[in-house]
Structure 1
Amino acid sequence: MNMNEPLLAELDHELAQTRKTLERIPADKFDFKPHAKSGTMIWLAHHIAGICDWGFTTLTTPSLTMENYTEPANPTTNEDLVAAFDKSAAQYREALAKASNEDLMAVWTMTWQGNEMIKMPRIAVLRGMIMNHLIHHRGQLTMYMRMCDIAVPGMYGPSADEKQFGESANA
């Protein structure tokens, strides 16, 4: 079995959950932030939408120098947010589907200000730094949503806003 197969299965599930979360972010809540030290909802949502770019970069380059990375401007509509996510996710998935076991075991490095921040096999970066990063920030975003009374989609079963195994969400 190619090592990318279980990663692809997990990625497909998590991308679907992430997309349905991003689809629910209304533009009138883009500027919401729960605390002065927190980013805005659109910053967080756009960060999530771009995490797949990092997965693509991990698979297609031997390293990343953070000083050379420029974060794109935040989208101004939900449609643009979801389109950015869809493009990023498709590129990442395609690169992962093409990855051989040798590609996945190759060491990948991320540096910042001349210091090695990450140096590990690509498969470890993809699982630990990309997938976990996506899930972590999506969890943060669902808390922003809850605080703004935006219905939170279920990720691994129904949420409090969805039917609970045959019950009404209002029950």
Structure 2
Amino acid sequence: MLGIPQLLSEFDHEMANTRKVLERLPEGKLSWKAHPKSNSIGWVGTHVANIPRWLVLTLQQESLDLAPPGGEPYQEVPRDSVGAILELFDQNVAAARSALAAAQEEALHQPWTLLRGGTVIFSMPRWMVIRLFVMNHLIHHRAHLCVYLRLNNIAVPGLYGPSADDAT
């Protein structure tokens, strides 16, 4: 199991890489879609900007119901500019880093549950939620954005070394 110092180090590295991708979103093309069934580049960017907030929810709540019976469903408010997406991302990253830095190691072993309409989707220790539901999920959608950048002829930043665009 990873401890808080290791999670913070990974978090900082991945958030810096993620910001590099978000900075390259094309202003004026946030409604662009790769396919009619796809989400827009702006929707995916907003989703990525919101994912760090889930780390706060993971540490401060025992569960999250995405569509609680009789309650309001979880929703992400779309942002209409790259600047607004970056501002949201920076706020969520700061809050998530602060929550993780203040967490107790014991809390990472406590279970956390994701539900939809009262039905359990998964339940696992918080450290696993942070790694799988927050970090890996963010990395997945960051890659999604990199494909969208490439399809729009926008240089893809190097994340774990130089990209093909960095070499040219």
| CA distance in structure 2 between the aligned counterparts of 1:122 and 1:69, rounded to whole angstroms | 22
Give me the TM-score of the superposition, normalised by structure 1.
0.92
Residue of structure 1 in register with 2:60 after alignment: 60
- Structure 1 position 49 matched with structure 2 position 53: no
Q: How far did residue 72 of structure 1 move?
A: 3.2
**Residue of structure 2 aligned with 1:117, choices 111, 115, 121:** 121
Give me the TM-score of the superposition, normalised by structure 2.
0.93
| CA distance in structure 2 between the aligned counterparts of 1:118 and 1:15, rounded to whole angstroms | 25
Residue of structure 1 in register with 2:148 after alignment: 144
Work out whether residues 27 and 77 of structure 1, in 8 Å CA contact, stay in contact via their aligned partners in 2: yes
Q: CA-to-partner distance for each residue in 1:91-120, whole Å, 9 max, x for gaps?
A: 011101111111111111111112111211
TM-aligned CA distance change 1:69 to 1:56, over 3 Å: farther
| CA distance in structure 1 between the aligned counterparts of 2:73 and 2:27, rounded to whole angstroms | 26
AA matched with 2:120: E
- Structure 1 position 91 matched with structure 2 position 105: no
Q: CA-to-partner distance for each residue in 1:26-62, whole Å, 9 max, x for gaps?
A: 2222111111111000000100000011111001111
| CA distance in structure 2 between the aligned counterparts of 1:73 and 1:65, rounded to whole angstroms | 17
SS in 1 for 2:28: helix
Work out whether residues 30 and 41 of structure 2, in 8 Å CA contact, stay in contact via their aligned partners in 1: yes
SS in 2 for 1:20: helix
Q: How far did residue 23 of structure 1 move?
A: 0.7
AA matched with 2:141: H
| CA distance in structure 1 between the aligned counterparts of 2:32 and 2:17, rounded to whole angstroms | 22
Q: 1:16-31 to 2 correspondence within 5 Å? A: 16-31=16-31
Q: How far did residue 71 of structure 1 move?
A: 2.0
Residue of structure 1 in register with 2:104 after alignment: 100
Residues 14-23 or 60-69, more deviating: 60-69
| CA distance in structure 2 between the aligned counterparts of 1:27 and 1:76, rounded to whole angstroms | 9
* Alignment coverage as a number of residue pairs: 164
Structure 1 residues without counterparts, runs of 5 or longer? 164-168
Residues 23-32 or 38-47, more deviating: 23-32
Q: Which runs of 4+ in 1 moved over 3 A?
A: none
Structure 2 residues without counterparts, runs of 5 or longer? none
C-alpha RMSD of matched pairs (Å)? 1.4
Q: How far did residue 69 of structure 1 move?
A: 4.2
| CA distance in structure 2 between the aligned counterparts of 1:151 and 1:71, rounded to whole angstroms | 31
| CA distance in structure 2 between the aligned counterparts of 1:142 and 1:154, rounded to whole angstroms | 10
Residue of structure 1 in register with 2:137 after alignment: 133
AA matched with 2:51: I
